[in-house]
Amino acid sequence: AVAKSLAIGEGSVGVGVDHELISAVPSSNPTFVLRNFTDAEITYCRSQSAPAASFAARWAGKEAVFKSLGVASKGAAAAMKDIEILPNEAGVPSVRLHGDALSAAQSKGVSKVHLSLSHSENVAIAFAQAVSS
């Protein structure tokens, strides 16, 4: 009963914030896009009314998720593609981790990352919270 009850209460492992000028995210560069976004993310962003804003918000989201995991600076080799952000059935951005990002999360006891995105005409902002169950 205790264990079951405890599963209700998630613990906060870390938080992450990022903001980006939409014009600074090279979303019209195919090499950048293919290296950093999954096929499903690309399809989703291109279907939106403002694809550049969608890519920028998602890019800020990946950075925020990365920060929330509290792992050491990633450098050029980080696979941001391993942090996948897609809307769930309610339209809420949902995070799925793969590869190294998943390993990092598991080593920290992170079971879920909550994420929210916001963009205006010029700027995208993301906030992430990594939680343990």
For the CB of residue 66, give the shortest distance to its own copies in the complex, in Å. 10
Cα torsion 121, 79, 109, 107 to 10°: value is -160
Output the furthest CA–CA distance in the chain (Å, rounded).
53
Binding mask 98-117 for its own copies (x = CB under 8 A): -----------x----xxxx
Closest to 98 measured CA to CA, from 41, 48, 30: 41
DSSP string for residues in 72-94:
---GGG--GGGEEEEE-TTS-EE
| 25 sits near its own copies (criterion: CB under 8 A) | no
Give the helix ranges, DSSP H, for 9-131.
Answer: 30-36, 39-47, 51-68, 99-107
| 50 sits near its own copies (criterion: CB under 8 A) | no
User: Among residues 63 and 82, whose Cβ is nearest to its own copies?
Assistant: 63
Stretch in the footprint of its own copies (CB under 8 A) among 35-43, 44-52, 64-72, 76-84? 64-72
Give me 91's structure tokens: 């339209």
For the CB of residue 47, give the shortest distance to its own copies in the complex, in Å. 15
| 23 sits near its own copies (criterion: CB under 8 A) | no
Which positions lie near its own copies, rule CB under 8 A? Answer: 1-3, 5-6, 8-12, 14-21, 24, 63-64, 67-68, 70-73, 89-92, 109, 114-118, 120-121, 123, 125-129, 131-132
